[in-house]
Amino acid sequence: DQQVKQNSPSLSVQEGRISILNCDYTNSMFDYFLWYKKYPAEGPTFLISISSIKDKNEDGRFTVFLNKSAKHLSLHIVPSQPGDSAVYFCAASAVWSGSRLTFGEGTQLTVNP
């Protein structure tokens, strides 16, 4: 049972345009959501997070939106840069799971110059 889903395995955008990465979850007990970026042969890098008490969190070029009723979150990157090309993982956390994160399968973002 995959509780966090990223249905798009890949996304390609032009430099300067907006990248929108999507994530859906099934467990309503999740109350904290995170996005990680991963380059090949490196560890994931924390990007941005959002608590379930908010519907938006912004950090520079990165904005995460949370729609609790739809159990959906998205990561917007504006403007996209070639250096943003990486795999992006969505993850979720709940008090009942202790410190465990549940990851999605990831989306490969390619930003073309």
Q: How many CB atoms lie within 10 A of CB 12?
A: 11
> Which one of 31, 62, 76, 79 is in contact with another protein (CB under 8 A)?
31
Contact status: 41 vs another protein (CB under 8 A): yes
Of 61, 87, 62, 85, nearest in space to 74 by CA:
62
Residue 106 engages another protein in binding (rule: CB under 8 A): yes
Q: How far is CA 108 from CA 9, 16, 31, 39, in A?
A: 6, 18, 25, 10
CB 79 within 8 A of CB 15: yes
**Closer of 74 and 79 to another protein (Cβ):** 74
Instruction: Report the residue number, 31 or 79, with the smaller CB distance to another protein.
Output: 31
Smallest separation (angstroms) from another protein to the CB of 70: 22
Task: Name the residues that contact another protein, by CB under 8 A.
Answer: 31-32, 34, 36, 41-46, 49, 51, 87, 89, 93, 95, 97-101, 103-106, 108
